[in-house]
Amino acid sequence: MRPLLCALAGLALLRAAGADAASHTDLCQRQLALILVVQTVEKTVEHLEAEVKGLLSQLEELAWNLPAGPFGPTPDLLGDDRF
């Protein structure tokens, strides 16, 4: 994300060099808004990565109890061997 941000900042500076003060202020405001959006997206991605890692961890903890395959032994849920 940083290279994208730097490229956009460079473009904004190039455009501002030939623009008047009002449009320069507008470009700065747009750039600040873009920076906030990028920061929000980065934080959201980090949060989602943490959530996915937590869910995968829970699945791995539960997976040890699953049968080996579709024809694996059936667990005795009732506690007796009637089947």
**Choice between 1 and 64, residue whose per-residue pLDDT is larger:** 64
**What is the pLDDT confidence band of residue 16, given thresholds at 50, 70 and 90?**
low
Condensed to tens digits (0 to 9), the pLDDT of residues 25-38 reads: 888 888 899 999 99
Residue pair 31/9 in contact (Cβ under 8 Å)? The answer is: yes
- CA separation (Å) from 9 to 4, 14, 29, 49, 57? 9, 9, 12, 28, 40
pLDDT tier for residue 46 given thresholds of 50, 70 and 90: very high
- CB atoms under 10 Å from CB of 15, counted, come to 12
Domain locations in the chain?
2-53
